[in-house]
Copies of this chain bind each other. A is one copy, B any other.
Amino acid sequence: MSLTITPLALAAAVGTGDDLVAHLLDALEVARLSLAPGDLVVVTSKVVAKSEGRVVAFSGLEADKVRLIESESRRVLRRRGTLRITETHHGFVNANAGVDLSNADEGTAVLLPLDPDRSARRLRGEIGRRVGVEVGVVITDTFGRAWRQGVCDVAIGSAGVRALLDLRGTPDANGRVLEATEVAIADEIAAAANLVMGKAAATPFALLRGLDASFFGEGSGGDLVRRPHDDLFR
């Protein structure tokens, strides 16, 4: 079966305190789509953060930028110029603690949602109440990688989807049992959605249809955070 990924553009900009599910339902209506069982909705952290009021005043000064980044961090792993590789209060290792100056209104910066898994559960619950369909939800942000050029979207929060799919013990095509393999499917979902969402366009939602039924179930974006004691590189 094919997997289909459809971008859903905003009908209006998302502001502080907005009802994000209303924006999603408007975007679905514009695209003449309705949610069905087995669907998964991807939402960028940017609009989640804006709707939750995670927007702060920002002077534009480099020194203030660094102060803001460090206040959003539990730990700074590396410094280069004004770039910080940070461990956020959530435990994510990313650049500049996810503090985002693009697609923010002049004089403001957008922070990461305080608890993206809780945001995902809330969106899933609210969608279920209004539409009567239980969908998977993945909240994405854009991260760099230690050893690879370029950024990729990853899952910082999720609900109703197994963030890690455990294939250990599954026989391979030759009947031999696979070695330790847990696939970070929520991150793969985030990356896949970014292929249709663009960076600059006002397209903070994507609809995935056709995911394997085994992908749905208990799980959270927090499952994807490597525990510091398992980490060989921190």
Contact = CB atoms under 8 A, between A and B. Distances in A.
Interface residues of A, number: 73
A35 interface: no
Interface string A178-195: 110111110111011011
Interface in A97-153: 101-106, 142, 145-153
A114 to B, nearest CB: 20
A201 interface: yes
A90 B7 CA distance: 35
A231 interface: yes
The number of times this chain is found in the oligomer is 2
Most buried by B among A104, A173, A196, A210: A173
Interface of A: 1-7, 13, 77-78, 80, 85, 92-93, 101-106, 142, 145-154, 163-164, 167, 170-174, 176, 178-179, 181-185, 187-189, 191-192, 194-196, 198-202, 210-212, 215, 223-226, 230-234
